[in-house]
């Protein structure tokens, strides 16, 4: 009898200790670097909001393997120097297991040496192809590559018999990467760039560049940048009475661009992730359910629709969650499992990473959208 009683007590004590251990499990620290203020706030704010929303949901559901996520977010203000300082803080002081962000290509490129040396996985939310090409062991990304965006635009131009174009690109990391891809892929698609103009991130008038283009043989204009510059270009095109088709990059794929560009936005075409036209997608689209859930959930939390940019943070959080569930919360295990991720249907597309590909998407991640009556419409 005493032996049986002792056995019962032992089992109860073991169960109590295990429960206590689970209850006291250390949180998994994830860092977030977003441009919440400054010129790229339209990128960083929805990314920050989405990351918080997703972490709250995961924690309410019990966390990951009994451990809650502690999200530590800092604002880079789209300043590469500040991004480097904050990345070091996340790694050395906060002891994070992984970092998501930054929001911009310039910030992301600046911190790559930091995370590579510290061996901390990074999932960038920026679009520049150079972030993951060539492959860096500890760096991944969720924003669709600009080379795929250029490909999508050029394919459409081929169908429209457009062969002579003008490009206007911003002189920052995102603009430089886009300009490089526009020039690199032009010959492949039989397209000739006959006017190559640039503008500064803080410029408030591009009429000089556009006046040059107006006098050229260009059949269309491609503007590559992030707000507010492209909205200025759109307004200036309207003011100058230029009737050439105007294309933008995926760097302005949100309602904010339409607000900033005003009447100049009408008719503009650009490549985008599917989230801004989720309701217009066919029922058999593999992303549609996740997209609509995200859009509606974001609206419930923040009173506006979830967008293309917030989707980058959604994908980053969910990719890290899957990696931890499969391999644990150590940085090396997260990195290894991220690289093994296959067919994850997220907001930005369906991701399949490999040792040779840390971007994980194909051109199918993009659809073409057009502004019609102040709304995004799917180009079919």
Mean pLDDT of the chain: 93
Instruction: Give pLDDT, residue 24.
Output: 54
Least confident of 20-29, 110-119, 212-221: 20-29
* Between 151 and 20, the higher pLDDT residue: 151
pLDDT category, 204, cuts 50, 70, 90?
A: very high
Q: What does the pLDDT average to over 315-320? A: 98
Q: What does the pLDDT average to over 316-339? A: 98
Cβ distance 303 to 361 under 8 Å?
no
Does CATH number 3.40.50.2300 belong to domain 147-272? yes
- Across the beta sheet with 139-141, what order do the strands follow? 69-75, 28-34, 98-100, 122-124, 139-141
> Where does 141-243 have alpha helices with state H?
146-159, 173-186, 207-214, 229-239
Instruction: Give pLDDT, residue 285.
Output: 87
Burial category of 304 from C-beta neighbours within 10 Å (exposed 0-12, middle 13-18, buried 19 and up):
middle
Cis preceding linkage at 150, omega within 30: no
State phi, psi for 273 to the nearest 5 degrees.
-65, 160
Q: Which residues pair with 272 in a beta bridge?
A: 367
Asked whether this chain's domains 28-144+288-361 and 147-272 adopt the same fold, the reply is yes
Instruction: Give pLDDT, residue 22.
Output: 44
Domain chopping of the chain, boundaries: 28-144+288-361, 147-272
Q: What does the pLDDT average to over 12-39? A: 73
pLDDT in tens, 135-174: 999 999 999 999 999 999 999 999 999 999 999 999 998 9
226's tokens: 């992030």
pLDDT category, 369, cuts 50, 70, 90?
A: very high
pLDDT in tens, 232-254: 999 999 999 999 999 999 999 98
Q: What does the pLDDT average to over 365-369? A: 94
Residue 221 host element (H or E): strand 220-224
Which CATH number is 28-144+288-361's, of 3.90.700.10, 3.40.47.10, 3.30.50.10, 3.40.50.2300? 3.40.50.2300
Q: Which of 137, 136, 120, 79 is nearest to 103 (CA)?
A: 79
Residue 260 has pLDDT above 50, yes or no: yes
Gap between the Cα atoms of 98 and 122, Å rounded: 6
Burial category of 338 from C-beta neighbours within 10 Å (exposed 0-12, middle 13-18, buried 19 and up):
buried
In the chain, the largest separation of any two C-alpha atoms, in whole Å, equals 101
Share of the chain above pLDDT 70, in %: 94
SS3 241: coil
Gap between the Cα atoms of 224 and 19, Å rounded: 54
Its pTM surpasses 0.75: yes
Neighbours of 300 (CB within 10 A): 10
pLDDT in tens, 86-103: 999 999 999 999 999 999
Instruction: Give pLDDT, residue 160.
Output: 97
Residue 2 has pLDDT above 70, yes or no: no
The two beta strands, 246-248 and 350-351, are unpaired
Gap between the Cα atoms of 322 and 80, Å rounded: 29
The two beta strands, 246-248 and 98-100, are unpaired
């Amino acid at each position: 009898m005493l032996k049986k009683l002792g056995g019962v007590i032992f089992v109860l004590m073991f169960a109590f200790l295990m429960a206590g251990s689970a209850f006291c499990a250390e949180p998994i620290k994830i860092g977030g670097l977003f441009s919440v203020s400054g010129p790229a706030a339209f990128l960083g704010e929805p990314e920050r909001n989405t990351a918080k929303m997703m972490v709250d949901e995961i924690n309410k559901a019990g966390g990951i393997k009994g451990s809650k996520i502690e999200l530590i977010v800092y604002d880079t203000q789209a300043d590469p120097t500040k991004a480097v300082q904050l990345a070091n803080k996340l790694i050395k002081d906060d002891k994070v297991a992984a970092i998501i962000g930054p929001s911009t290509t310039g910030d992301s490129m600046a911190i790559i040496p930091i995370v590579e040396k510290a061996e901390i996985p990074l999932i960038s939310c920026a679009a520049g192809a150079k972030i993951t090409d060539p492959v860096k062991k500890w760096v991944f990304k969720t924003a669709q590559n600009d080379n795929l965006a250029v490909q999508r635009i050029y394919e459409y131009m081929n169908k429209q018999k457009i062969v002579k174009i003008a490009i206007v690109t911003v002189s920052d990391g995102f603009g430089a990467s886009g300009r490089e891809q526009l020039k690199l892929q032009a010959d492949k698609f039989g397209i000739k760039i006959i006017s190559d103009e640039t503008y500064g991130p803080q410029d408030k008038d591009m009429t000089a560049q556009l006046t040059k283009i107006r006098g050229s043989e260009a059949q269309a204009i491609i503007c590559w940048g992030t707000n507010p510059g492209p909205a200025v270009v759109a307004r200036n095109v309207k003011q100058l009475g230029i009737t050439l088709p105007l294309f933008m990059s995926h760097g302005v794929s949100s309602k904010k661009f339409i607000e900033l560009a005003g009447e100049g936005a009408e008719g503009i075409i650009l490549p985008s992730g599917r989230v801004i036209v989720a309701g217009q997608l066919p029922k058999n689209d593999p992303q549609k359910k996740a997209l609509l859930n995200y859009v509606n959930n974001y609206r419930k939390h923040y009173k506006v629709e979830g967008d293309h940019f917030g989707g980058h943070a959604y994908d980053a959080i969910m990719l890290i969650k899957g990696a931890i569930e499969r391999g644990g919360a150590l940085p090396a295990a997260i990195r290894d499992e991220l690289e093994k991720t296959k067919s994850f249907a997220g907001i930005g597309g369906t991701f399949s990473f490999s040792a040779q590909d840390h971007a994980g998407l194909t051109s199918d991640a993009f659809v073409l959208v057009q502004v019609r009556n102040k709304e995004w419409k799917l180009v079919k």
